[in-house]
Structure 1
Amino acid sequence: MKTNLLLMLLSGVAVSLGGCAIPTNTLETQSPNTQAQNPTNTPIVAAPAPPAIFQSSGDPNFVVKVVQKVGPAVVRIDAARTIISRSPDEFSDPFLRRFFGDSPSRSRPRVERGSGSGFMISGNGQILTNSHVVNGADIVTVRLKDGRTFDGRVLGEDPITDVAVIKIDANNLPTIALGNSETLQPGEPVIAIGNPLGLDNTVTSGIISATGRSSSAIGASDKRVDYIQTDAAINPGNSGGPLLNARGEVIGMNTAILQGAQGLGFAIPINTAQRIGKELIANGKVDHPYLGIQMVTLTPEVKERIDRLGLNVTSDRGVLLIDVVPSSPAAAAGLREGDVIQSINNQSVANIEEVQKLVENSKIGIPLQLQIQRNGQTAQVAVKPAPLPIQKEG
């Protein structure tokens, strides 16, 4: 099979599970705010305010009560990292060297600064935030609402779920109770607290717009998260801050918006963030199961494109493999481009999201039993997941 041709044909609809993700341009992760040192000079386009929301009791002041209760446990995180850039190559020109001599150094360090948010999960200074807030940081500073500042130490970060834990040396700190993101329903009121655009301790409110938004659905195919969607205003600098329910419990960690959209924000469910946070505290890293495949949901549109290539894919449903990473667990098990996954461990799969969930919930080293269709024939293949190779961001 001509893999490059198949990839080109299906570009924009494929998702990687341990391979190279096809990039999209729709998602803007809420990276540390690098333009907020003078917020009064920052042009801000006002979005329509969401309608007022009320707790089931009818109390119109529940947002005030929640903010008073948990606000002190929300922190600002300032991060700085040193970037080494190369100076221009013109000084390698022999003619210029006659006048200026040899350049003593062609590496020019510069410091990149940004800010985000986080929240206390323990009284001894453990803080949850986004991985992209502290990724590659040389210096991390944590500022509390009461004005105190502390040096932060990154205990661990997981780019795959965009969760990180940092630690400050302090005790008897205010904390926020963690809720349960498994029971959320669209329409529930929520509150976001953070430091968007350098405006510390900003509060916004709205509702849960949807739950279970897959990473591929919002253009973040390199992540393994089913996001909470909210219309509460989220902007750069909100990254890592809490999304709260009407009782003041954290039900999500704010992380992303869709570029150019209004009223579309996304948060990592707190059950996911808490699970990853515990592993980071214990081990400093998280190992995710990895197969090494790139795949696409087999829809009538995709099937039509494949038929035009003259490929022998007879199945009308399942998940089509369009690439298998060399030397990966999938390659070792004999999976090939053009195979259609129909079930995993006897659970039928109809789309890439179902495959991602089953793989993410599997155990490294414990074989997964895949039923596939190849050239019109059904076969069983056992694939043993390995730890996902992680590459540091930027």
Structure 2
Amino acid sequence: MRTPPQGYGSDDVKGRPPESPSPKFPVLSYLLVFLVGGAVAWGATEVFSSHSQMGSDLGTSESQERLPAVSAEAPTVTPRTEEAQIVPPSNFVADVVTRVGPAVVRIDSERRVSARSLPPGLDDPMLRQFFGFRMPDAEQERVQQGSGSGFILSSDGKIVTNAHVIDGADSVTVTLRDGRSLEGRVLGTDPVTDVAVVQIEAEDLPAVRLRDSEGLQPGEWAIAIGNPLGLDNTVTTGIISAIGRSSSEVGVADKRVDFIQTDAAINPGNSGGPLLDQDGQVVGMNTAIIQNAQGLGFAIPINTVARIAEELIENGRVDHPFLGIQMVDLSPQVKEQVNRDQSQALRVEEDEGVLIVQVMPGSPADEGGLRAGDVIRQIEGDSVTSAEEVQQAVSRVRVGDRLRIDISRNGSPETLEVQTGVLGD
């Protein structure tokens, strides 16, 4: 409750003892006392009425205007509620979310899996001992549910997400920002890059804008939108922490992706959602986290996503070129270890390059003449010093293309031509 204005304190309510009126004007004195007392009583009534009004409507300006101006101090003024304007927060993150948010979707998938279990009533330990390992069992079917994110590539309903979000799904449901839930049809998945495309039957949908991820630099703003842990339309921000993180560094060695690293919070359920720059353009697709780590999220560069999505839309699958070799980065320490291992019939003379540890029988590398113990020095004239660089060189060509590979075999240089094959065939 507001402290009553000066002049309405306890002393004023009770009233100080008035000075004795002049005995010469007794009637006039009593009349003055009566008028002053009436004014005080009227003022107190207005104050209590004003305070009561504050309790009901938080002190509107109307009640304040009725207060008599009895204090020389400036009164506390409450703004007129009808004149107050609610200004929405305005920053680049809020602007991006407003524009791009409607193009981000939630993807729910279901798949039925079979599991063998004991029939009801036969799970008693005594019965298990009696039957032993030949105890009869029954096959049961159960439903696995998964949830992730995605974003709309085109207004006709083509959506990209992670392949692992819909892997093996019997049904896919896409929920739009406006609340509509539509059945999704899988156009194709690519486990090698973890990219998938889903089609929904809708028109005039909001679509994202893509940016060339080749120009991305560490330190740029990063905005992630998705549905982590079932919390739809969640927005997190951070920066691009690094680029070109290899699949082995991220812990998914079976993927062929150079990941974008970000400290924008990414959690289960963010998979398949967009990673945006400060202008709202998609630079990557959120896909991976490292367990028990903080500030370590990873996204597939959008250039890779767009290329794979285009092939999936056109062909329903992606053919990846491969050589069929197992390799390791060569260093003086690796050289010493290999030469010291008597069980290996290898002898390495070089200190750098990429050492071929094993060649898959019948593979393009085997047919092209590569052998275990060879050290790859160059591919198409470009020097290579890591297995990742070899993989990148192979990924840049198409299936059936020939690669010129310069190697060192037992210390002698050789040049071979190897025709790439189809991974998985």
TM-score for the superposition, normalised by structure 2: 0.74
Shift of 1:383: 1.2
Shift of 1:163: 0.5
Shift of 1:60: 6.8
User: Is 1:115–2:150 an aligned residue pair?
Assistant: no
CA contact (8 A) 1:312 1:376 kept: no
- For 2:370, the equivalent position in structure 1 comes to 335
Show structure 2 runs of 5+ residues with no match.
1-88
One-letter amino acid of the structure 1 residue matched with residue 423 of structure 2: L
Shift of 1:388: 0.4
Any idea what the Cα deviations from partners look like across 1:297-354, whole Å, max 9, x if unmatched?
A: 1022211211212531101111011111121111122222111111112221111111
One-letter amino acid of the structure 2 residue matched with residue 295 of structure 1: M
- C-alpha distance in 1, partners of 2:118/2:394? 46
User: Is 1:184–2:216 an aligned residue pair?
Assistant: yes
Alignment of 1:119-198 (within 5 A): 119-198=151-230
User: Is 1:83–2:118 an aligned residue pair?
Assistant: no
Which of the pair is proportionally richer in helix? 2
CA contact (8 A) 1:116 1:237 kept: yes
One-letter amino acid of the structure 2 residue matched with residue 161 of structure 1: T
One-letter amino acid of the structure 1 residue matched with residue 91 of structure 2: N
Change (3 A) 1:191 1:294: same
Change (3 A) 1:300 1:60: farther
User: Is 1:346–2:402 an aligned residue pair?
Assistant: no
- C-alpha distance in 2, partners of 1:355/1:96? 55
Shift of 1:95: 6.7
**SS of 2:179 mapped into structure 1:** coil
- For 2:31, the equivalent position in structure 1 comes to none
**SS of 2:311 mapped into structure 1:** helix
Shift of 1:141: 0.3
**SS of 2:225 mapped into structure 1:** strand
- For 1:231, the equivalent position in structure 2 comes to 263
Tell which deviates more after alignment, 220-229 or 105-114.
105-114
TM-score for the superposition, normalised by structure 1: 0.79
CA contact (8 A) 1:190 1:244 kept: yes
Aligned partner (choices 330, 338, 351) of residue 298 of structure 1: 330
Aligned partner (choices 376, 385, 391) of residue 411 of structure 2: 376
Change (3 A) 1:88 1:313: farther
**SS of 1:240 mapped into structure 2:** coil
Shift of 1:86: 2.4
- For 1:13, the equivalent position in structure 2 comes to none
Shift of 1:240: 0.2
Which of structures 1 and 2 has the bigger CA Rg?
A: 2
- C-alpha distance in 2, partners of 1:106/1:380? 59
User: Is 1:317–2:347 an aligned residue pair?
Assistant: no
- For 1:222, the equivalent position in structure 2 comes to 254
- C-alpha distance in 2, partners of 1:68/1:132? 28
One-letter amino acid of the structure 2 residue matched with residue 117 of structure 1: S
User: Is 1:273–2:305 an aligned residue pair?
Assistant: yes
CA contact (8 A) 1:120 1:126 kept: yes
Aligned partner (choices 357, 362, 369) of residue 397 of structure 2: 362
Any idea what the Cα deviations from partners look like across 1:266-304, whole Å, max 9, x if unmatched?
A: 000011100100000000000000111111110222112
One-letter amino acid of the structure 2 residue matched with residue 259 of structure 1: Q
- C-alpha distance in 1, partners of 2:411/2:402? 24
Any idea what the Cα deviations from partners look like across 1:164-184, whole Å, max 9, x if unmatched?
A: 000001111111111111111
- C-alpha distance in 2, partners of 1:246/1:96? 66
One-letter amino acid of the structure 2 residue matched with residue 298 of structure 1: L
- C-alpha distance in 1, partners of 2:341/2:412? 20
One-letter amino acid of the structure 1 residue matched with residue 313 of structure 2: I
Show structure 1 runs of 5+ residues with no match.
1-58
Tell which deviates more after alignment, 111-120 or 361-370.
361-370
- For 1:208, the equivalent position in structure 2 comes to 240
How many residues are matched?
328
Shift of 1:220: 1.6
- C-alpha distance in 2, partners of 1:163/1:137? 15
